[in-house]
Structure formats: C-alpha cells, structure tokens
Amino acid sequence: MATLPNPLPKLAADPSGSSLGLVLPPGSLIDVTDEGPSDEPLLWRADGPAGPGDYDTLQVARRTAGLLPVLVDVGGDQGGLADWQLMPDEVSYPGDHDAEEVLEEFWEECAADELFGEQATDAEEDETISPYGPEWPGLAPATSTERESAVDPDARAAEIADSLTESGSWLKEPRLALVPARRSADIPAAIGWSGAVNYEGDVARLCAVLRSWEDRFGIRVVALTFDQLVLSVAAPPTTQAEAEAVAAEHFAFCPDNITQGHHETLRAYAQQEVLNQQVWSFWWD
C-alpha cells in the first residue's frame, strides 16, 4: 500500500506528542500484526478509556501531524488490538480501485449468484433486495451537503464519537487512537484491519467505497471493533427512494447487514438504518 511518511515513531521519544503539536494522554504505540511486529507502528492508542470530547480534541492531529482519530474497542470478545489479526502487508492502495467497479462485482456475487442463481434474468425479482434485481443498479446519487440536515462531516464525527463513549454505549471499552492516513476512509487499510476478511481479503477495496461515501455523503470512520465498522454520516439520504439506492450499496458492501441482520429486506433496512440516519455500521460474519 502506498503510504505517507509515518509520524508515529516520533512518539516513542516524545510520548506527549508536543513535537507534533499535540497534547496526548498516556498511550501506547501498536505494531503487532498477524505476522509479527511491523517495521513501524501502525497506530497510537490511548491507555485509558475514551470520554466525551476526546475525539474532537484530537482532530487537530489531522492538520498538525497527518494523524486521524478513530475509536477502537479493546473490550470485545477478541480482546485487545494484539488479537485483531492486523494484516497491513496484505493491503493495496484504496486509490487504485474504483468504488463502483468494486460494488458491482460484489453485487453480482451476492445478488445475481447467491439470491438468483446462475440463470438469473433481469426480469426476476427477489424480495430480499426488491426493488432491485440481479443487475447492478448503479451508484446512488450524492446527497446535497447544502440541505438543512447536512452538517460539517468532522463535527458530525465528533458528535457520534461522543455518543459511543457515553455510559450505555454498545462499545465495551472504546479507546482513542491515531492512525497515519490520507483520509478517514483509508483508516482500515492503513492499519491492515481484517474485520471483513471472510468477505474481502483486501480491505483497500472496501476503503475505495468508503472514499466514495466520504465524497457523496460526508462519512467518517469513527470506530472499529474486531469485526465491525462504524461510520458517521453528515449528509444522509432524506427520502425513501434515496435510502433504497444507498441500501443497495450497503448490501453489496456488507450483505450480512441484511441477510443476517434484523431486517429481512432491503426496503426495511433502508427505512430503518439508512433514511435520515447519522450512523451506518457494518458487521461481517
């Protein structure tokens, strides 16, 4: 994967981050991968639990050091980051992939082959992904960032991060982390996150889609667990038709959200999980 210069090694001699224009709480540099220690640290992770305001405080790291904030949950069943099976050496560069080509390929595998079978025709329809059929429907149109419902993407990310650090959140032990990455969408690729490896072995292909969602809907990668990805959404769809078009992309990106989730159809998923929703989350079996 093509990478930027990694500023994290500076934190080994300067844990406070002052040389990078930061004021960091006590933390640790993480270099553990599925193949052993990496040549350079993959991320910095705070030693203590994250609290409201912490994510927003470290957004300055984007401008001063090229480090992007994200919450990592170290309290799940898989334990800490050392058990996450990070695989940075298996990752390509997100910019080398076209988001629509990736989604179309996934759609053909999941919709055309699995739901309809090899003899699928355009006239066939499966209620799971209705109103769509085996043919890839194309990318959903961008949601206008000028709508009243749209906010600054980084401000929305801070709001969602705060909600995930509050008592009662479904995250068990969120810690603040900093990752060297070009843009928020690239965070999973930058650390070699393998949460979707049973579905896609090169997470950069998924990050190409995240880049497209960043451009069209103002998403930010706000949190990662061992196998779950959580996004904030600054400009979510505001009509059912728009939501269904986005839900089709979600199905291609992570079919488990629908086929193994609480919603048995794309239409129901669109209405309850996409329409006007400020958070999108994905989990791969």
Q: What pLDDT sits at residue 272?
A: 96
- Asked if residue 131 has a cis previous peptide bond (ω within 30° of 0), the answer is yes
SS3 at position 46: strand
Q: What is the pLDDT of residue 122?
A: 45
Secondary structure E strands in the chain: 27-30, 32-33, 36-37, 43-46, 67-73, 174-180, 219-224, 228-233, 279-283
How far apart are the C-alpha atoms of 283 and 155, rounded to whole Å?
25
What pLDDT sits at residue 269? 96
Separation CA 34–CA 36 (nearest Å): 6
Q: List, for residues 76-134, the tens digit of each pLDDT value.
A: 776 678 889 999 999 999 999 999 999 999 999 987 655 655 544 444 446 889 999 88
How do residues 64-81 score in pLDDT, each as one tens digit?
Answer: 999 999 999 998 776 678
189: pLDDT strictly greater than 70: yes
Angle at 152 between CA 54 and CA 104, to 5 degrees: 105
**How do the residues of the chain divide into helix, strand and coil, expressed in percent and rounded to 5?**
40, 15, 45
Q: What is the pTM of this model?
A: 0.93
For the chain, the first-to-last Cα distance in angstroms comes to 26
State pLDDT tens for residues 22-49.
999 999 999 999 888 898 999 999 999 9
